[in-house]
Amino acid sequence: MMEIFRILDEMELLLKGSKKMPFTGGKSLLETNRFLDRLDRIRAILPEELETAKNILSEKDKIVNEAFHEANEYIEQYKSEAARMVDDSEITRNAMSVADEIIAKSERVSEQIRRDAEEYADGVLGHIEYVLRKGLDAVVQGRDQIKIQVEDETS
């Protein structure tokens, strides 16, 4: 991830450090090979970043599924415990109350784990989206600079 930012910074420096051509309204000469080399390096890194995002989504699904499975185990465990306490009406009422509280708590914990996993995945995907947009903006800007340079050379 940081490698892409470093390459984008290099590309920005190439653009900013390019020589300005007099009488062209601020148009610049750009070292095309160096700029294209940076673009190729970004293209090489992006598949790795996308694979990381895919793995994070897969891990999020695994965490959510495990949380639901664990919550269901808690529910079943405490339902069994509550059924064993059915001896006396007072004990039964207390057991049902405790079981309901445990089930409610298990459901809250399960829901919180799911929300946390989804927020984490959303944050990672948002960051990857930002990196990809920044890279795409750099590519578009580079292409525009190259088009301007080519048009100036043909004029």
Residue pair 13/31 in contact (Cβ under 8 Å)? The answer is: no
What is residue 88's predicted lDDT score, i.e. its pLDDT? 57
What is residue 87's predicted lDDT score, i.e. its pLDDT? 57
What is residue 24's predicted lDDT score, i.e. its pLDDT? 66
| Measured distance CA(81)–CA(84) in Å, rounded | 5
| Measured distance CA(96)–CA(65) in Å, rounded | 27
Residue pair 131/49 in contact (Cβ under 8 Å)? The answer is: yes
The per-residue pLDDT string of the chain (155 residues; one tens digit each, 9 = 90 and over) reads 578 788 888 888 877 777 777 776 777 676 778 878 888 888 787 777 778 878 888 888 888 888 888 888 888 887 777 676 655 567 777 888 898 999 999 899 889 988 988 898 888 888 888 888 988 888 898 888 888 888 877 76
What is residue 104's predicted lDDT score, i.e. its pLDDT? 93
Q: How many domains does the chain have?
A: 1
What is residue 142's predicted lDDT score, i.e. its pLDDT? 86
Token pair, residue 71, equals 């919550």
What is residue 101's predicted lDDT score, i.e. its pLDDT? 93
* Chain mean position to CA 33: 32
For every residue of 55-114, DSSP letters joined together read: HHHHHHHHHHHHHHHHHHHHHHHHHHHHHHTTTSHHHHHHHHHHHHHHHHHHHHHHHHHH
Does the model's pTM come out above 0.75? no
**Residue with tokens 């948002």, as numbered in its chain:** 126
| Measured distance CA(137)–CA(74) in Å, rounded | 50
Domain coverage including residue 101: 2-154
